């Protein structure tokens, strides 16, 4: 199970125009927003990735608003693991569990998850917060990531795992996120 004190959120390439062309874009954006809000509530590191932002644009405005002024890690490689800056920020985060959201499931998400699983990370993929332009590519990517050892989960399942109990100071704001 995910433990908030040991987890970080990876937000992969949730860039505006690209995000809108995905299968079920509203669901994916809404769930990414929930993950960001919960990560902030739980004081988890958030690593923001952007694939070639000069061409694909910045992170979707609705998500950027939640992220504040935290800069994104720009990349041209499909796997974020090929970025030295990503590897540095991942090491600096000091977390062993990674909760992954983003697009496209069968390209950048898949290749990043594949490479993270070769390192000493436990990778959880929020299946309702990842997508591709086609449902087929999204589904095959989730299947392949599961076969490689990633934990396929959902946004709420992951968040409730980290919340653990319906008590404490965090529960009321947590309930507002997942309602």
Kindly list the catalytic residues. Answer: 13, 75, 108
Residue length of the chain:
179
H helix intervals, 24-109: 25-41, 53-56, 61-67, 84-93
Rounded Cα distance between 167 and 96, Å, is: 26
> Cβ of 134: how many Cβ atoms within 10 Å?
14
**CA distances, 165 to each of 34, 114, 172 (Å):** 18, 32, 11
For residue 101 the two structure tokens come to: 């959201």
Who's near 21: CB < 8 A, 6+ residues apart?
A: 133
């Amino acid at each position: 199970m995910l433990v908030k004190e040991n987890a970080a959120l990876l937000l992969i390439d949730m860039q505006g125009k690209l995000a809108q062309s995905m299968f079920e874009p509203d669901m994916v954006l809404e769930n990414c927003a929930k993950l960001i809000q919960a990560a902030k509530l739980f004081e988890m590191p958030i690593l923001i990735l952007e694939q070639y932002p000069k061409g694909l644009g910045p992170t979707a405005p609705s998500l950027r608003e939640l992220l504040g002024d935290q800069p994104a890690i720009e990349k041209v490689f499909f796997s974020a693991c090929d970025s030295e800056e990503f590897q540095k920020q991942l090491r600096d985060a000091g977390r062993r569990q990674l909760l992954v959201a983003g697009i496209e499931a069968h390209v950048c998400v898949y290749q990043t998850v594949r490479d993270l699983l070769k390192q000493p990370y436990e990778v959880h993929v929020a299946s309702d917060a990842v997508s591709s332009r086609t449902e087929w590519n999204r589904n095959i990517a989730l299947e392949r990531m599961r076969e490689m050892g990633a934990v396929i989960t959902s946004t709420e399942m992951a968040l409730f795992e980290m919340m653990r109990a319906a008590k404490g100071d965090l529960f009321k704001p947590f309930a507002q996120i997942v309602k």
